[in-house]
Amino acid sequence: HDANWWALMEHNAGRLPGTRSSWAISAAWFAFLAGVASTALIPVPSHWGCFIAILIGLIFSSIWLPDNGDTVLPFCTIIILPIVVFKSVAMGGLWSYSILLFVFVVIPLADFIVGVDVGNQTREIQKELHTAFRFELLTLLVAPGILGCLCYAAWLANSGGLSLLEFGGLTIGTGIITGVVGIVAGHELCHKASRLERVLGRLLLCSATYGHFYVEHTLGHHKDVATDHDPATSRYGESFYEFLPRVVKGEFVNACRIEAARLRRNGLPWWHNEIPVYFLVSVGIALALACLTGPLAVPLFVAQSVVAVLLFESVNYLEHYGLERRELKPGQYEQVQPQHSWDTACRVTNHVMFKLERHADHHAHAGKRYQTLQAYDSSPQLPAGYATMILLALFPPLCRMVMHPRLLAHRRLQVGRGRQQVNITIE
């Protein structure tokens, strides 16, 4: 269907099924990443303008880079966020907050200019990519990368060279790193079967003091999504400011309830409860940072956790807004389908967030790896990427003006499909 995306380009719409990337495509992405990484060597503040111009130019130039979905290199663009954060802090003053301009101005513009990617893969290629270790390796490397960013941020905070204003910019920037890269990669790892991936996934969640999300998300949200029982499904007409306290409280309470039920079911004593363990891990990370770098690491860690959770829950607000599953009988709902999650095909943000924006396929097949997630015509479509939509969510009347016509059109479409199914059954 016509998704009416806010985008100039539509990539891979005419790509033949089974098309693979050539060595030249991989080489082009490698050169692109080398250019991005080299911006970290540009000295600031003396060449700040040069740094910004080159980085933005590189991001926009990715419009010409083909991506058939079988190379891991486009997802390595996550390195952009820590580069921008720490270069901004080195610039000092109000520039310490330039990561906000990058996330909420540059990335939305990049989503608009670079456009959307609607390419899907054949079943054979999906099976092949599912076992491709290069994609798994990248998510595994996120854990030491995030811990390294936290260590460096804590060292900067305790170095004595930052003003209170710059400390605030560092805190927000670090929270954006752990919220956009850390929690999203943690979410990806927590759904996987291997013990190492699940452990590192929970560690990443604990780096934002949100370890209990593992319990609630995997055992609560995926079961109750798009129903009134799910705290992470935003209701029709509910503003982000109403949703935020409800979801933060609801996810914690639900996680505790699920964990208590597990202990009763298995006859385990209270000290087997995992929820306190996750908080102790977060405390341990904060204290370890303080021991390594200094006491300011503790307030930095706490404050960046708040920023990370705010950012992640703003994404949660968008993913199922106003969507509902039919209740077949009391307490029993229809199976989770692609139409119960909002998708968006924006290429830049899907690369930075491990295809989290292909959310419908994730809920339909929770165990699929990010590189194999497909785009569905049957799922409702957000007009833009998450960065743009988060900005809209901060202004509820504007958000409703954009979302409600799409939501109501999607509901009418579902009613029409339901009538067609009934007619087919009758015939």
Query: Residue 103 has what DSSP assignment?
Result: I
**And the tokens for 381?**
């479509």
DSSP structure string for 181-205: IIHHHHHHHHTSSSHHHHHHHHHHH
* Residue listed under structure tokens 């109403």: 242
What are 111's two structure tokens?
A: 């989503």
State residue 380's pLDDT score.
Answer: 95
Kind of pairing, strands 327-329 and 10-11?
unpaired
- Give the end-to-end CA distance of the chain in Å, rounded to a whole number: 27
The residues with which 10 forms a beta bridge, in sequence order, are 116
- pLDDT of amino acid 17: 66
Q: State the 10-residue block means of pLDDT for the chain, 427 residues long.
A: 81 76 90 97 94 97 92 96 97 96 97 94 91 96 98 96 96 98 97 95 98 96 95 96 98 97 95 96 98 98 98 97 92 92 96 96 93 92 96 97 95 68 37
Tell me what pLDDT residue 426 has: 32
What pLDDT score does 4 carry?
A: 86
Cα(325)–Cα(340) distance, rounded to whole angstroms? 7
The whole-angstrom separation of Cα 127 and Cα 125 is 5
Structure-token match 């690491």, residue found: 297
225 φ/ψ sector (left φ>0, alpha ψ -120 to 50, else beta): beta
